[in-house]
Structures are given as C-alpha cells and as structure tokens.
Structure 1
Amino acid sequence: MTTWNSAPYPPPDPNQGYYGGQQGYPPQQPYPGAGYPNAPPAYPAGPQGYPPPGQPPYGQQAYGQQPYGQPGDGTYTQPDMYGTSYPEDPDVKGFEFSDKSIRRGFIRKVYVILMGQLLITAAMIAYFLYDKSARIFVRNNSWLMFVAIAVVFGAMIALACCGDLRRKAPMNFILLGLFTFAEGFMLAVVASQYQVDAVLMAVGITAVICLALTLFAFQTKWDFTMCGGFLFVCVIVLLVFGLIASIMAATGNGNRVVNLVYASLGALLFSVYLIYDTQMMMGGKHKYSISPEEYIFAALNLYVDIINIFVYILTIIGAARD
C-alpha cells in the first residue's frame, strides 16, 4: 500500500520578494525562453516586487535593455509580451530615401541617363539640319512620322502605367531608348523646318533656362511637389488653347500674336514642371518624392520637360522672325 508523504514544504523565505514561496509552494522559476533566465533586475525591487516611485514601467529597461530608439534609425527595438526586444528587420524597413548616399546615387544615375538622351537628340537634330538628303527623304516618306508618333505614345504609356515594366532591366532601358530615338526623330524633323541659327539660338536659351531652373530647384525653400494637381489642370487648359489656335490657323484666322502667347505660356508651364520634377527627384525635405527605384521614370520626366521647353522657345523665335 502506497503512502503519501504528508510532510509540509519548508516555509517561504521572506527575502525572495515577489517570487518567494506562497502558502507552502516552492519558489517559482523565471519563465523559460523569455530571454532573460536568472538575469538580475535593472532596478531594485520595491514594495511587493513593484518598481519604486520614479522608475520606468516594466519592459523598457528591464534586465539591462536599452530604451527604445526611433523607427528607421537602426536602434529601434520592439517589445514582445514578455518584455524582451528584438532589432527592427532590415528587410521590412526597406530603403530610407532620406539617406544622403542613396539620394546622391539616385540623382547621379538620373542625370547620366538624361545626358545620354539629350546627346542622342542633339545628334539627330544636327544630322537633319546639315543633311539636305535626309530632309528630302522624310518629306517623301511621311509615314515615318506616324510610326514615330505611335512609338512615342506606346513607349510613354508603357513606362508611365506599368510600374513593374519600368523597374525591370533591360526592358526599361529598351523602352526608354525607343522613346528617345522616336522623340529625337520627330524633333529633328520639326527643327529642320527652321533656319540653323534659330535652332542654335533656341538650344542655347534652353540650356541656360534649364540650368538656372535646376539650380533654383536645388536651393530654394519653396516646395513645388505639392503643385502636381494644379500643373495638370494647366496642361489641360494649354492643350485646349493649342487646339483652338490650330483650328484658327487652319481656317486662316490665326495670327502671330496668338502663336507667341501660346508658346510663351507653354514655355512657362514646362519651366515650372522642370522645377517640380527636379524636386520630386531630390526627395529629402520635400513633401513628395520619387522612389530610388524609379530612375527611368525620373529621367523620362526631366527629358520631356526640357524637350517641351526647347520646342516652345523655338516656336517663339520662329514666330518673332516670321
């Protein structure tokens, strides 16, 4: 016959604090796996094991842990239900565009791509300006212009609307190259209708304006990234104005003043757009910014702004000389 030992447990030790034996039960051990077995507390025990007045609550500095940092600075620790902490996952955090090294590399990549686009466009314009046979060939094969227009709109829609496509190499560079060659061909055909000195003057004025606006965008305290909706409305109004001016010119009611006003408004609008897109590329202190992965899209925006400024300035020079 089995007999049970009815001898009571030893009395609780009053020096064991909150975890001392209670009513004959043995002392409790720290929870296994909580991250701090047998670790001494970071503050002296208060009455009944609670922290004394003026000490931080549980979980912040318990067992030697440092206070919480700020999310994103690499020192942030997130507490769990047991008071332990673990560092923020770098894969979840992703890119911090406020990092100056990432922003400088992104801007450098955008301007390298933009310079390549502008050099290709300038070479095509120079070829059509100084080669008469090329102008005659395009004049006798007008279908090339329609093909170029289709390529420009197709590539622009693909790059603007398909985010995965414009971030995936080499397809993003292929589409950007097709857009640049088609746009350069169209611009060369248009520029070949003007005199060489007028085109060179327009190129010089465009270069000075773009350089000045870029420097202004980099150092100004004004945030133009909040003006996206307003600029889009202005583009719609300018498009309607240009359509009306084209109808007036086709019916013989157009005049030089209308062309000058339209070209001046277009040059002003895309000058503001150049500041807007430059600040979107810069990020940092501005409210809105482009992701560092969108270097193709940023280069495309700046290229379109510069090309439009050049076309409108060339139109102003041509209308003034007409």
Structure 2
Amino acid sequence: MANWSDPRPTAARYATGAGTRSDAYDAGLRSYMLSVYNYMASGVLLTGIVAMVFALSGAVGSLVDMQTGRMTALGWIVSLAPLGIVFAMSFGQAKMKTSTLQALFWGFALLMGMSLSTIFLVYTGTMIAQAFFATAAGFAGLSLYGYTTKKDLSGLGTFLIMGVIGLLVAMLLNAFIFQSGVMDLVISILGVLIFAGLTAYDTQKIKSMYDYVAGTDMMGKVVIMGALNLYLDFINMFLFLLRIMGSQRS
C-alpha cells in the first residue's frame, strides 16, 4: 500500500463543504463497502458450493486416500496453492491489474472449496451447517461493530497478528509433538477470539482506506484485497468454531 498514490485531497473534496458533498461521500462509502461485502460473500458462496460438490460427488477421494486417511499429492497441492495465491496477491497487488486480482481471488475461492471438501469426511452436515450459520451471525455483528464504532482499533492490529503467528506455532507443536486434545480445544477457542477481533479490525481498516482511494483507479484493487481479508477472517473463524463443536460432540 505504501506504493499507492495519495488521493486524500480528492477524498476531502467529497467529505467537506455543503450537505450535497457530504451525501455524495456517504453514498460513495456505502457503495465501496457494499462492493467489498459482495465480493467476500460471493467468494464464501463459491467455496461452499465447490466443497459440497466435491464431497457429495466423491471427488474428495482424489485429495485424501480413504484407506490411510493421508492426503494425496493432489491434496497437498490443492491445500498449499491458496496460500501461494494469498502471498502473490498481497505482495504483487501494486503491479497487478484489477482484473488479475479478480481472477486470482476467484481461483483462490475455488481452490479453498476443493480443500475444504475434506471437512465433510470428519464432521456431519448438520454440524457444518450449525458452525457456518453461527459464524455468519458472529461475523455480521463484529463487522458491523468495526464499521460503526468511533473507537480506533488500529492498536489491536499488531497484537492480533502476533496472536495469529503464535496460533500457528502452537498448532504445529500440538500436531507433531504434544498431540493434546485439551491443547487443541484451547487453540480453537483462541482462534475464534483472534479472528473475531481481526474481523472488526479489518472492517475498520477497509473503511478508512476509502478516504485514500476515493476517486482513483486503486479502488478496485482495495475492494478485492479487502474482500480477501474478510474472507480469511470468516473462514478461519468458521474452521476453529467447527473444531470446538466437533470436540464437544466427540
């Protein structure tokens, strides 16, 4: 983002002055945020549809060896490819066209659907649906808070990112060393809380970016990257919540 041109004078022209200019600014902000949410929701929908199709059609068997429970070579590729796309979008957004970012976003959502089809092998459809709708309700409330609150949430950013890193380290340690069910439950609870905080933080950050990109050709890129951030918050919160529900019913 540091490489973007600073369009603040343009944004200020809409934000100050007569009532009509303020109305134009508010309308532009609403349209901008609606675009972010539309992209994010469409990405989640695409992921869900692909996951269900893969699971119900039996194609998930190409990702996991049903006899050993281990991922196949294709399964590893499908699991790691979305991470590569996220890094490519994050570090290459300044040089990419908006259409390229759009294609990568949809490709990412598609691959995530293929990868997440494996959860149908572990959890029941009812459990997945309950976790999804609970996540959707929580996400909506947290994002609304981030959008409307006057409190500056920027101070939470570093703390939450450090929390994500710590979470990844704890997950690796538990997977390969401790293998503790109690620790897994604690990690899952912390995961829900961390990504809940990130949902509010990212929403406020995306909203604040409007002042910098209003009236510029950077808006399309910011919309897509904002949708990607919220998508990741939603999916991670959903997966950690699903693990909590699974541990309680196992």
TM-score range, shorter chain: 0.7 to 0.9
1:245-284 matched pairs, under 5 angstroms: 245-248=174-177, 253-283=178-208
Q: Is the 8 A contact 2:60 2:117 kept in 1?
A: no
Matched, 1:122 2:51: no
Match of 2:31 in 1: 105
Task: Supply the distance in 2 between the matched residues of 1:92 and 1:305 (Cα, whole angstroms).
Answer: 28
TM-score normalised over the length of structure 2? 0.80
Q: What is the distance in 2 between the residues matched to 1:210 and 1:153? A: 22
Mapping of residues 71-82 of structure 1, within 5 Å: none
1:290 Cα offset (Å): 6.8
Q: Structure 2: which amino acid aligns with 1:204?
A: F
Alpha-carbon spacing, 1:209–1:139, altered in 2? closer, same or farther (3 Å): same
Q: Which of 235, 238, 247 is 1:319 aligned to?
A: 247
TM-score normalised to structure 1 length: 0.63
1:289-308 to 2 correspondences below 5 Å: 291-292=213-214, 293=219, 294-308=222-236
Give me the whole-angstrom Cα distance separating, in 2, the residues matched to 1:184 and 1:116. 12
SS of the equivalent of 2:172 reads helix
Give the fraction of aligned pairs with identical amino acids, expressed as a percent: 26
Indicate conservation of the 8 Å contact 2:131/2:241, yes or no.
yes
Alignment counterpart, residue 74 of structure 2, candidates 144, 169, 176 = 144
Deviations 1:102-161 (A, max 9, x none): 322211111111121011011123224433x22333324822222223421221112111
Say whether residues 1:162 and 2:87 are aligned partners: no
CA distance in 1, matches of 2:129, 2:122: 13
Unaligned runs of 5+ in 1: 1-90
- Alpha carbons of structure 1 residues 138 and 247: separation in structure 2 relative to 1, 3 Å: closer
Question: Structure 1 pair 194/165, CA: closer, same or farther in 2 (3 Å)?
Answer: farther
1:181 pairs with one of 98, 110, 127: 110
Alpha-carbon offset, residue 244 of structure 1: 1.5
Higher relative contact order (CA 8 A, sep 6+): 2
Q: CA RMSD in A?
A: 2.4
Q: Compared with structure 1, are the counterparts of its residues 203 and 289 closer, same or farther at alpha carbon in structure 2 (3 Å cutoff)?
A: farther
**Cα deviation code 1:1-22 (max 9, x no counterpart):** xxxxxxxxxxxxxxxxxxxxxx
Taking the aligned partners of 1:135 and 1:162, their CA distance within structure 2 comes to 31
Q: Select the structure of larger CA radius of gyration.
A: 1
Paired residues, number: 223
C-alpha separation in 1, matches of 2:213 and 2:227: 13
The offset of 1:218, in angstroms, is 2.6
Counterpart of 2:155 in structure 1 is 226
Q: 1:102 to 1:217 in 2, by over 3 A?
A: same
2:142 maps to 1:213: yes
More helix by share: 2
One of 142, 153, 169 as aligned partner of 1:240: 169
